[in-house]
Amino acid sequence: MNHAVIRADLCLMTTVTKDHQAQNTVIFSIFSTMIRTLFLLLTIVAFATNARAQDTTKLDIADNGDYYSFRMLDNVINNYRIIFTGENHVFRKSNYRLELKMMKYLYHKAGFRHFIMEFGFSRGWLVDKYVQTGDTSLFKVLSDYSYQEYALLYKGLYEFNKTLPDTAKIRIHSIDIERSLSTPLKVMDLLIPKNRKIPASIALTIESIHSLAVMSDDEQRKAQQKNKEDFRTGAPFSLKRSLKFILQDLDSNKAAFKELLGNDYPVFYKIEQGLRAEMDRSTYNDMSAVQGYLYRERFMHESLRELAAEFPTGKFYGQFGRCHTSLETEDVWCGFYAFTTLATRLDSDSLFKGKVLAIAQYYPNGSAHEKGVIDRDGVKPLLKISSPDGLTLIHHRDVVNDTARLKNRFQYLIINQADHRMDNMKVDSTKPPVDYSTYESTIFLEGHYGLLGVNLNALNSTLFGLDPSAISFTSPLTVVGGSYTQLEDGVFYTFMYSAIRNTEIGFSDSLYYGLKGGSFRFRVGGDFVRSKWLDVGPFFGYGYQRLVLTRDEILAGPVGSGFFGATNRLRTSVTNPSIFLEAGVSLKLRLKFFFFGGTAGWQLDVSKKGWRENGSYVSGGPKTSQSGMVIMGQAGFYF
């Protein structure tokens, strides 16, 4: 660019014109077009969503009182007495959140008051005792002997039960064999009175139970340190062999145990029966006998029959391993043969015939084994209608025609594509459990319109002189663009592109100056509110921005080759590149799928302030700093 020519031209200028009205009209037109386009897209998405509302819905499993996303089940659940959701036990974080939310939903919508668990009787008794009383010493035991997510589940059940009337509390039950020996021995020790004289005939057994309980405490502490369950390298003693002697004494001295335990003996006896069943099951398993897995299903079936007899009008909900919840006898499934599942046994029982509802979860983001199960069970066609980042409830019998076997197994499916990165964590009993129920991963796609404050004084002084009546480039400049934002558990990352709208100044019919540009930004910020509808928090970032100044002159005759031939226009340009840092505040207000909001911040130009022509800085050119205020209005969609 020939700056001598520019300055000579500027000396001859007497009038500068700029059509502000035309500029405002264009700005308004752009903004109106953006809004109309966004609302059109919103209408299309809403229409498509409603079309599938009867067959699929994304579940809200946050710990709140909003059960609208479960509405697909509203007219169904009252027809059943037992409801199962099937799970893969590995995905504990999303599993426990679904389990807790489902129990609350079933309680409020259909009067389900009995929560059943795939554990031995001892854990059910311990959880129920805690849920009814809030005894912190019991919660410490549960925390010590549980994965972190299970402890959060028990805490959530207690908090929920606390809000219910005394005449309508929930109850907790476990119906499985006592497969983990440490928990039942710990509970047996808790049941033994500490202030009563122990009969000599059973003193060795009582002392042995206490010793094994303390040993289990020590092993659980080591398990927490290793982030494992039932850690087994510390004590040189065998729980299983010690238990055989204890069971022998319980047979020989039943009267003495009854007298010592008093009203707690029935609980002690139920734990004893579960331990005997485990000894039988382990004998089968040690010999690789098929009776092992059949024995366990029969035991759980009988346990639930006993509960139904104890609570004749009770309704029961539980989340068990998916292999237990199929409503069909499985020939080759879960590694078993001619396998009559717990749900199938119940559905064939006269007490529960036609009263069992099974909802299975599948996890497309899981292990290779889980993906193989999805393939074999015919679940793949459902993935395309499922949410990519959450849990989708599907009435699959209506939407898929080629999964006949799957239709017989379960009435509904849940495709679970939640973020599972926080699985496999244990509770540190010295600290309160960390509640991950508010964890969120959300993607925002938005368009923005805003203003960019840039100091143009030096540029205007060079181009237009010091005449205060001269029309010059004005700040702020208009920016339009879009961005991609990902929110991960309260921290967001934004990639943004903005175009700086061209501003043109005409000096005469033959000479024009234009100023435009663009920027790329990366921002990192935090959401301090953590609300379902509102995101507010600070951000920091950096980026690259470039201003482009063009000079467009119309000459008397052709001077070169144009697009279709000769032209009489001479166009030159210079650029002002900038690397900047920025800080500010972001706000988003969420609606159903749509959001709007804005950001306000300050950017600091940390680069050279000069103008460049053909890659080199123009000597003696004006210094233009791109530091200044940045304000943007935003609107878009989130997923």
Task: Give CA–CA dist 615/566, Å, rounded.
Answer: 28
pLDDT in tens, 624-635: 999 999 999 999
Name the one residue in this structure whose structure tokens are 């700093």.
625
Residue % of the chain over a pLDDT of 90: 56
Lowest-pLDDT range of 177-181, 199-203, 416-420, 544-548 = 416-420
- The predicted pLDDT at position 458 comes to 87
- The predicted pLDDT at position 52 comes to 42
Question: 2: pLDDT confidence band, cut at 50, 70 and 90?
Answer: very low
320 in Cβ contact with 98 (< 8 Å): no
Task: Give CA–CA dist 338/63, Å, rounded.
Answer: 39
pLDDT in tens, 485-515: 998 878 889 999 999 999 888 766 777 888 9
73 in Cβ contact with 396 (< 8 Å): no
| Pair (234, 145) in one structural domain | yes
Q: Does 367 score more than 70 pLDDT?
A: yes
| Pair (214, 355) in one structural domain | yes
**Does residue 546 lie within any of the structural domains?**
yes
Q: Which two tokens stand for residue 329?
A: 């006898």
**Does residue 152 lie within any of the structural domains?**
yes
**Does residue 27 lie within any of the structural domains?**
yes
Q: What's the pTM value of the predicted model, to 2 decimals?
A: 0.61
Task: Give CA–CA dist 62/453, Å, rounded.
Answer: 42
Task: Give CA–CA dist 271/464, Å, rounded.
Answer: 93
DSSP-assigned letters across all residues of 487-531? EETTEEEEEEEEEEEEEEEESSSSEEEEEEEEEEEEEEEE-SS--
475 in Cβ contact with 467 (< 8 Å): no
Pairing between strand 560-561 and 441-452? unpaired
Could you tell me which residues come within 8 angstroms of residue 609 by beta carbon, excluding any fewer than 6 positions away? 576, 623, 624, 625
| Pair (7, 101) in one structural domain | no
Q: Does 55 score more than 90 pLDDT?
A: no
| Pair (17, 68) in one structural domain | no
- The predicted pLDDT at position 568 comes to 67
Q: Report the pLDDT averaged over residues 257-267.
A: 95
| Pair (100, 22) in one structural domain | no
**Cβ neighbours of 601 (radius 10 Å):** 19
| Pair (354, 217) in one structural domain | yes
| Pair (22, 69) in one structural domain | no
**Does residue 474 lie within any of the structural domains?**
yes
Q: Report the pLDDT averaged over residues 86-114.
A: 95
* CA 326 distance to own-chain centroid: 27
- 3-class DSSP state of 128: helix
| Pair (447, 361) in one structural domain | no
**Cβ neighbours of 372 (radius 10 Å):** 11
Which contiguous run of DSSP H or E holds residue 190?
A: helix 182-191
- 3-class DSSP state of 395: coil
**Does residue 75 lie within any of the structural domains?**
yes
| β-strand partners of 514 | 504, 550
**Does residue 421 lie within any of the structural domains?**
no
Task: Give CA–CA dist 403/437, Å, rounded.
Answer: 33
Q: Does 3 score more than 50 pLDDT?
A: no
Question: 401: pLDDT confidence band, cut at 50, 70 and 90?
Answer: low
Q: Does 469 score more than 70 pLDDT?
A: no
Q: Does 96 score more than 90 pLDDT?
A: yes
| Pair (351, 471) in one structural domain | no
Task: Give CA–CA dist 302/310, Å, rounded.
Answer: 13
Q: Does 271 score more than 90 pLDDT?
A: yes
Task: Give CA–CA dist 516/177, Å, rounded.
Answer: 74
Lowest-pLDDT range of 61-75, 279-293, 327-341, 345-359 = 327-341
Q: Which two tokens stand for residue 477?
A: 């400049």
| Pair (542, 577) in one structural domain | yes
Average pLDDT, the chain: 84
Residue type (1 letter), 161? N
Q: Which two tokens stand for residue 205?
A: 């057994």
What range defines the domain where residue 614 resides?
3-41+438-638
pLDDT in tens, 13-42: 333 334 444 454 444 455 455 555 554 554
CATH of the domain at 26: 2.40.160.20
**How many domains does the chain contain in total?**
2
**Where does 52-181 have alpha helices with state H?**
92-110, 121-133, 136-144, 148-162
**Does residue 428 lie within any of the structural domains?**
no
**Does residue 422 lie within any of the structural domains?**
no
Phi, psi of 46 (to 5 degrees): -60, -40
Q: Report the pLDDT averaged over residues 213-240.
A: 69
| Residue with the larger pLDDT of the pair 389 and 70 | 70
| Pair (94, 160) in one structural domain | yes
Pairing between strand 628-638 and 594-605? antiparallel
- The predicted pLDDT at position 408 comes to 83
343 in Cβ contact with 325 (< 8 Å): yes
- The predicted pLDDT at position 105 comes to 97
Q: Does 423 score more than 80 pLDDT?
A: no
Task: Give CA–CA dist 107/169, Å, rounded.
Answer: 10
pLDDT in tens, 533-581: 888 999 999 999 999 999 888 776 665 555 555 566 788 889 999 999 9
Long-range CB pairs of 105-109 (<8 Å, 24+ gap) are 105/67, 105/70, 105/73, 106/77, 106/315, 106/317, 107/160, 107/164, 107/170, 108/67, 109/67, 109/70, 109/73, 109/74, 109/77
| Pair (77, 147) in one structural domain | yes
- The predicted pLDDT at position 233 comes to 45
Q: Does 232 score more than 80 pLDDT?
A: no
